[in-house]
Copies of this chain bind each other. A is one copy, B any other.
Amino acid sequence: MTSNTNTLERDRGILIVLSGPSGVGKGTVCSALRKISPELVYSVSTTTRKPREGEVEGVNYFFKSKDQFEQLIASDEMLEYAEYVGNYYGTPRRFVEETLASGKDVILEIEVQGALKVKEKFPEATFIFLIPPSLAELENRIVTRGTETNDIIRSRMSVAVDEIRLMRHYDYGIVNDEVHKACSKIQAILMAEHCKCDRILPRLEQWIGE
């Protein structure tokens, strides 16, 4: 969008929050999207865990101490965060804001509860829910993934159904039956969102005057 010289199309970026139940294929869709939409910026998380070999500050993560992270929480700089195996992980507001201000779209791949926390802090984002082709297919994917017992599978399916019902808090729902189709739909949603009159109207009078 930055290279566009028409006032009406010179738009801020959009934050796309891509979520869905565990096993639906969020990661696969994101990787495929990365290849076909290289202009999309992926949200970089902040963490208190130590960098692993080869990990680069600002590319893989923003690495912070526990004190620093807790200060970011206190000053409302985290769009969401969670603790996992003794470390904090979260989405820093500033990276998202600065990237959007530069006219680039940002995509954040996140589980369902995290997405709902982002919605509280950043309601102007576009929330997309990935839906499995069917519950039977989701169960297949969970079974194929690992060595879970029947009890664990049953419990994970019950969580998935609860999460799917949370789709009512999202803007769009996409059935992930084929990765390339899901990617096309995400691209279409981004294109459509940039055409929304709400986004164009603030620049209309300036454009008429030009």
Contact = CB atoms under 8 A, between A and B. Distances in A.
Given A187-B188, A197-B129, A208-B135, A6 B168 contact: no
A172 B193 CA distance: 8
A174 B195 contact: yes
Nearest to A165: B204
A118 interface: no
Given A191-B188, A192-B193, A208-B161, A168 B9 contact: no
Report the copy number of this chain in the oligomer.
2
B189 A185 contact: no
A193 B134 CA distance: 22
A101 interface: no
A167 B129 contact: no
19 contacts: A6-B133, A8-B173, A8-B175, A129-B197, A131-B200, A165-B208, A167-B200, A168-B201, A170-B197, A171-B197, A172-B197, A173-B200, A173-B201, A174-B195, A187-B188, A188-B192, A188-B195, A189-B192, A192-B192
**Which 9 interchain pairs have the tightest Cβ spacing?**
A192-B192, A188-B191, A188-B188, A172-B195, A189-B192, A173-B200, A188-B192, A173-B197, A170-B197
